[in-house]
A and B are shown apart, each in its own frame.
Chain A
Amino acid sequence: MFMSVTFNKACLIDKMKTVFVTVGTTSFDDLIGSVTSDESVKALIGRGYTDMVLQVGRGSVPDPDRCPGLSLQVFHYKDSIAEDMRNSDLVISHAGAGSCLEALRANKALLVVVNDKLMDNHQLELAKQLQDDSHLIYCTCSTLSQTLRDMDLSALTTYVPGQPQNFANFLDKAVGLV
């Protein structure tokens, strides 16, 4: 009888645990640099992660040898990142509302990294509010590896999606359709 055995880089017994990193439609090389740093990789492996998928936008692709101990996949863009989100155990995202809400609606643990060079106040406002409501954790590039070591993902609560039907019903009445 022939048995086929597959090895992954971490350990034969541990199951795959994936972190998906997304920078959105532009680029965020600082985030990619921080999440592939030695300290961050060590923190992720310490938490049992085995695989990392990086969506880098128009930014640069990191050196494939940069994350020893993690299986690395990198891409620039896809028509949809829904499947990557679905297959992940943790999403690390830039602070764009679209990416954040997509991860929350997929019920994924979410760590948002705010780009303090951009200082888009509204992105930061949303991240702060969602953290206050315990739906995500946010940090900056410089505090990312520390956050990866210290964060308590079990304290996060489920995000309940909004109800656009309330808006539609209101508008129907307002324009005289009902």
Chain B
Amino acid sequence: MTRDQEESLLAHAVHFTNQQIPRSGEVRQLWSSSVLSSFSALMSSVPLVLCNGPGTCVPLCATGLLLGVLGLKRVLIIYVESICCVKTLSLSGKILYYFSDYFFVQWASLRDTYPKAVYLGRLG
């Protein structure tokens, strides 16, 4: 989202912090800088990751899972698949379908193919 949208949303929150995590660029960069920054962000904040699909969310979710596996923090992973995904999942969706606590799809055809998915209609 843009900085203006972010500020508008945050203006309604009671308590918030804003932490930037480096965007995944090249593959080697993805796992080192993103995972370390994700680790620090998740340890110091609310234990929930809400994402909607870009590849950059995968290392963040992986870090959340790792924290749980290591017994450091239970992180809830919520994934919302893009409205563009009508019949097939995105690559991020295909990976995170198995690892998310809640996996939302926006079209009924996907719910039929992926029974673990939650369908509440379109978000937009």
A118 within 8 A of B: no
Complexed CA–CA distance, A101 and B84 (Å): 11
Asked if A164 and B124 sit within 8 Å, CB to CB, the answer is yes
- Once A162-B106, A174-B102, A175-B76 are accepted as A-B contacts, the answer to whether A128 and B124 lie under 8 Å apart by CB is no
Complexed CA–CA distance, A122 and B107 (Å): 13
Asked if A164 and B123 sit within 8 Å, CB to CB, the answer is yes
B78 within 8 A of A: yes
A6 within 8 A of B: no
A178 CB to nearest chain B CB (Å): 15
Interface residues of A in 122-167 (CB under 8 A from B): 122-123, 125-126, 128-129, 161-164, 166-167
Interface residues of A in 101-129 (CB under 8 A from B): 101, 121-123, 125-126, 128-129
The interface residues of chain A, by DSSP majority, are classed as helix
Tell me which residues across on chain B come within 8 A of A125, comparing CB atoms.
84-88
Interface residues of B in 72-124 (CB under 8 A from A): 76, 78, 80, 82-88, 90, 101-102, 104, 106-107, 118, 120-124
A170 within 8 A of B: yes
B48 within 8 A of A: yes
Asked if A129 and B122 sit within 8 Å, CB to CB, the answer is no
Asked if B84 and A126 sit within 8 Å, CB to CB, the answer is yes
Q: Which range contains the number of B residues in contact with the other chain?
A: 20 to 34
A45 CB to nearest chain B CB (Å): 34
Tell me which residues across on chain B come within 8 A of A121, comparing CB atoms.
88
Tell me which residues across on chain A come within 8 A of B85, comparing CB atoms.
122, 125
- Once A170-B118, A171-B78, A175-B48 are accepted as A-B contacts, the answer to whether A129 and B123 lie under 8 Å apart by CB is no
- Once A171-B78, A175-B48 are accepted as A-B contacts, the answer to whether A122 and B124 lie under 8 Å apart by CB is no
The residue in chain A whose Cβ has the minimal distance to the Cβ of B109 is A129
Q: Chain B, 40-76, contact with A by CB distance < 8 Å: what is the 0/1 string?
A: 0000000010100000000000000000000000001
In the assembled complex, 26 residue pairs joining A and B whose CB atoms fall closer than 8 Å, in A order, are A101-B83, A101-B124, A121-B88, A122-B84, A122-B85, A122-B86, A122-B90, A125-B84, A125-B85, A125-B86, A125-B87, A126-B83, A128-B86, A129-B86, A161-B124, A162-B121, A162-B122, A163-B121, A163-B122, A164-B123, A164-B124, A166-B120, A167-B120, A167-B123, A170-B102, A170-B120
